[in-house]
Amino acid sequence: MGEQWKSLRKKSSEDQKTEPEIPGLKPANPAVLPEPQKAEANYPELSPQKHSKPLHVRRGPPNLQIRPPRRDARVKARDVAGKTEEEPGQADKEEKTEKSIISWRGAVIEPDQSTEPPSSIIKEPEKPSSVEVEDQKEPVPINERQMAVIEAFRHAWKGYKAFAWGHDELKPLSKSYSEWFGLGLTLIDALDTMWILGLKEEFEEAKKWVATDLLLDKNVDVNLFESTIRILGGLLSAYHLSGDSLFLEKAKDIGSRLMPAFNTPSKIPYSDVNIGRGTAHPPRWTSDSTVAEVTSIQLEFRELSHLTGDKKFQKAVDAVMKHVHSLSGKNDGLVPMFINTNSGQFTHLGVYTLGARADSYYEYLLKQWIQGGKKENELLEDYMRAIEGVKKHLLRTSQPKKLTFVGELAHGHFSAKMDHLVCFLPGTLALGAHNGLTADHMELAKALIETCYQMYAQVETGLSPEIVHFNLHAQKDRKDVEIKPADRHNLLRPETVESLFYLYRFTGDKKYQDWGWEILQNFNKYTRVPSGGYTSINNVQNPSNPEPRDKMESFFLGETLKYMFLLFSDDVDLINLDKYVFNTEAHPLPIWAPA
Give the dihedral sign, CA 233/241/428/533.
positive
98 counts as catalytic: no
Nearest to 135 by CA among 430, 520, 573: 573
State the catalytic residue, choosing from 192, 318, 495, 547: 495
359 counts as catalytic: yes
| Total number of residues shown for the chain | 595
> Which of helix, strand or coil describes residue 575?
coil
Give the dihedral sign, CA 142/144/145/149.
positive
| Number of C-beta neighbours around residue 28 at 10 A | 17
Hey, what amino acid is at 578?
A: D
378 counts as catalytic: no
Hey, what amino acid is at 222?
A: V
d(Cα 190, Cα 559) in Å, to the nearest integer?
Answer: 8
Give me the sheet containing 413-415, strands edge to edge: 351-352, 408-410, 413-415
Q: 217 with 254: CB under 8 angstroms?
A: no
> Could you tell me which residues come within 8 angstroms of residue 584 by beta carbon, excluding any fewer than 6 positions away?
106, 107, 108, 109, 229, 296, 360, 363, 364, 424
State the catalytic residue, choosing from 226, 272, 293, 300: 226
User: In whole angstroms, how large is the CA radius of gyration of the chain?
Assistant: 22
CB-neighbour burial class of residue 388 (10 A; exposed 0-12, middle 13-18, buried 19+): middle
> Which of helix, strand or coil describes residue 292?
helix
**If DSSP states are collapsed to H, E and C, what string results for 407-467?**
CEEECCEEECEEEHHHHHHHHHHHHHHHCCCCCHHHHHHHHHHHHHHHHHHCCCCCCCCCE
204 counts as catalytic: no
> Could you tell me which residues come within 8 angstroms of residue 519 by beta carbon, excluding any fewer than 6 positions away?
456, 462, 463, 496, 497, 564
Write out the DSSP string of 320-337: HHHHHHH-S--BTTB--S
| Number of C-beta neighbours around residue 264 at 10 A | 19
Give the helix ranges, DSSP H, for 327-408: 359-371, 377-389
Buried b (16+ CB within 10 A) or exposed e, 317-339: bbebbebbeeeeebbebbbbbbb
Nearest to 577 by CA among 496, 493, 498, 497: 498
State the catalytic residue, choosing from 303, 359, 381, 547: 359
Q: 192 with 238: CB under 8 angstroms?
A: yes
CB-neighbour burial class of residue 105 (10 A; exposed 0-12, middle 13-18, buried 19+): buried
Give me the sheet containing 417-419, strands edge to edge: 417-419, 467-470, 481-482
State the catalytic residue, choosing from 189, 300, 466, 585: 466
Active site residues: 226, 359, 466, 495
